[in-house]
A = this chain, B = another copy of it.
Amino acid sequence: METEKARLPEDVALNCGYLLSRLGFESRRRFTESIAHLGIRPAHYGVLAVLAESAPVAQTELAEALGADRGWLVGLLDELEAKGLVRRASDPRDRRRHAVSLTPEGKRCRREAGRIARRVEGELLRGLAPGEREHLRTLLRQMAP
């Protein structure tokens, strides 16, 4: 048995895919924790954020804007509706469609969670100078599409 401490090799620890995966997980974990007192999880926040900008909207379009499956969205909307944060109204012109929109409480929750998201981002980037933060944002944005 070796006496030296076991450690992750450099080629892994410096791989951007590994770093992104690790930091991405940590980022989500912190945000989840920081909005828990609002009674929502990150996925709920995504729904509220889209609705704040584009409501009313049908569920399929909402799922598409989130890059998610429409079946997965149903449960989230059930929870958000039960909390009084969103409304589902059936569209009179096409009764298959539900027009989803935010309630006033939903709008407040989105704003508050948005403030928290900015704060958590600040904590996550605390090791970087302001210029570096913007450069990182640019690089990530460039990879994202």
Contacts and interface: CB of A to CB of B under 8 A. Distances in A.
Nearest to A28: B21
B1 A57 contact: yes
A63 B133 CA distance: 32
A2 to B, nearest CB: 6
A43 to B, nearest CB: 11
A125 B1 contact: no
Contact of A142 (B24, B127, B143): B127
Interface of A: 1-2, 4-9, 11-12, 14-25, 27-28, 30-31, 42, 46, 49-50, 52-58, 61-62, 64-66, 91, 93, 97, 99, 114, 117-118, 120-121, 124-125, 127-128, 132-133, 135-137, 139-145
